[in-house]
Chains A and B, each alone.
Chain A
Amino acid sequence: MPSGGPWRRREPGPVVRPYAVTGGRTEPADGERLDLIAIVVATGQPAGAGDRLRLTPEHRRILTVCENQVTVADLGADLGLPVGVIRVLLADLIAQGAVAVVPKRPASERSGNDVLREILNGLRAL
Chain B
Amino acid sequence: MGSAHSDSPAALFIAQKILIAGGFGSGKTTLVGAISEVRPLRTEEVLTTASIGLDDLAGVASKKTTTVALDFGRITLGQSLSLYLFGLPGQERFSFMWDELSYGALGAVVLADVRRLGDCFASVNYFETRRLPFIVAINCFDGAPRYDAQEVRVALDLAPDVPVTLCDARDVASVKQVLIALVQAISASRARSSRT
- A contact residues vs B (CB 8 Å cutoff): 13, 18-19, 26-27, 33, 35-37, 39, 41, 43, 69, 71, 73-74, 76-77, 80-85, 100, 102-106, 109-110, 112-113, 115-116, 118-120, 122-126
Contacts and interface: CB of A to CB of B under 8 A. Distances in A.
Nearest to B81: A118
Contacts of A126: 35, 75, 77, 172, 176
Given A71-B84, A84-B44, A112-B190, A103 B15 contact: no
7 contacts: A33-B100, A37-B16, A84-B43, A102-B11, A115-B16, A123-B180, A126-B176
Contacts of B145: none
Contacts of B75: 122-123, 126
Interface in B7-43: 7-17, 35, 39-43
Contacts of B72: 73, 77
Nearest to A75: B41
Contacts of B180: 120, 123-124
A104 B15 CA distance: 9
Given A26-B65, A69-B9, A115-B16, A103 B176 contact: no
A69 to B, nearest CB: 5
A83 B183 contact: no
A126 B106 CA distance: 20
Contacts of B81: 115, 118-119, 122
Interface string B99-131: 011011010000000000000000000000000
A38 B134 CA distance: 22
A103 B16 CA distance: 14
The 7 closest A-B pairs by CB, nearest first: A122-B77, A82-B44, A77-B39, A37-B15, A82-B42, A84-B44, A83-B43
Interface of B: 1, 3, 7-17, 35, 39-46, 64-65, 67, 72, 74-75, 77-78, 81-84, 86, 100-101, 103-104, 106, 172, 176, 179-180, 183-184, 186-187, 190
Contact of A83 (B13, B44, B104, B172): B44
A119 to B, nearest CB: 5
Nearest to B43: A83
B71 to A, nearest CB: 11
B46 A122 contact: no
A116 to B, nearest CB: 5
A76 B41 CA distance: 6
Contact of A69 (B13, B43, B179): B13
B42, B75, B82, B106 — most chain A CB neighbours (10 Å): B42
A36 B187 contact: no
Nearest to A109: B1
A124 B181 CA distance: 11
Contact of A113 (B74, B82, B187): B187
Contact of A39 (B13, B44, B65): B13
A119 B16 contact: yes
B34 to A, nearest CB: 11
